[in-house]
Each structure stands twice: as structure tokens, then as C-alpha cells.
Amino acid sequence: RYTVLLEPTGKYYLSLQVEISEPEKYSLTGKQVGIDVGVADLAILSNELKYPSFDSSYFEKKAKIWQKKYSRRRHLVKLLVLQDRNKRVLCPRSLESFTNWQKAWQKAQKSKAKYQAKAANQRRDYLHKLTTHLVKQYDVIAIEDLK
């Protein structure tokens, strides 16, 4: 089976469902650990080892810059439309008549989606590497339940 997905960034993804043999098992280490999920740090282990939270501020900042550019241009276009309406121009302009603004909107949306996707991919990669490392290191893992 397969699934094809179109992301907001314009990329296509193909997801395959296949049948594989039994995965290899890791060797036993005889170690146990407890994990405290925190706010400042992502995880603090019972042996005082801390894993910091993922910092995606760079990509969030870039996405915010594109959003700011788009919002500024949109505001200027709305002002021009209102001016035409207030001056009672014979053929007042509408938002659709500003093609540069439309191009800027498309570029801003795509760029913003691209930076958000990069941050999400890096966060997912960080979590996969962390969990894989913990599973290889410890046989028994206990996680706190905040409920």
C-alpha cells in the first residue's frame, strides 16, 4: 500500500506500507532508569543526566520575518483600496488587482511553511535520536505520569 501527500511547502511525500521480517533485538544491558519529563529540560534521568529541550527559535524567527513582510504589504494594499473608496474613484482597485501583493503572499506562505517544516523535521529527528539512544542503553525505562 502507498499514500501520496502534498505538503504546504510544495513537496510530495510517498509513504509505503511493507511487510518485513522480525527486527533484530538489542542486547540486554541490565540497566534501569527513570525519566522525569520537565519544562525547562526535555528529560531528566534518575542518574542526573539531563537532555535539553529542542531549540527551534532560529526557524521560528525566520517564519515570523516572512509573516511580518506579508502583513506589512497587505496593510499597505488595504490602505490603497480604502483611499480609492474614500476618494470615490471611478474604477476603485480591489485586493485582487495588486499582483505584486499576491506574489508576495504566495512566496510568504511557502517560505513560512518551509521554515516551519524544517523546525518540525529537526525536532522529530532530535526526539528519534534521543529515544533510540535510551532504548539501546537501558532495559527498563520508567516515565512519570503527570495525570
**Residue 32 host element (H or E):** strand 32-37
What pLDDT, on the 0 to 100 scale, is given for residue 147?
A: 63
What pLDDT, on the 0 to 100 scale, is given for residue 65?
A: 85
Name the one residue in this structure whose C-alpha cell is 528519534: 128
CA distances 38 to 5, 70, 125, 142, Å, are 34, 36, 19, 14
What pLDDT, on the 0 to 100 scale, is given for residue 11?
A: 85
Name the one residue in this structure whose C-alpha cell is 540497566: 31
CA distances 8 to 102, 115, 116, 124, Å, are 17, 11, 10, 18
pLDDT in tens, the chain (147 residues): 899 999 888 889 999 998 889 888 888 888 899 988 877 888 888 888 898 888 888 888 888 888 888 888 889 888 988 888 888 888 888 877 888 878 877 887 888 888 888 888 899 999 999 999 998 889 899 988 776
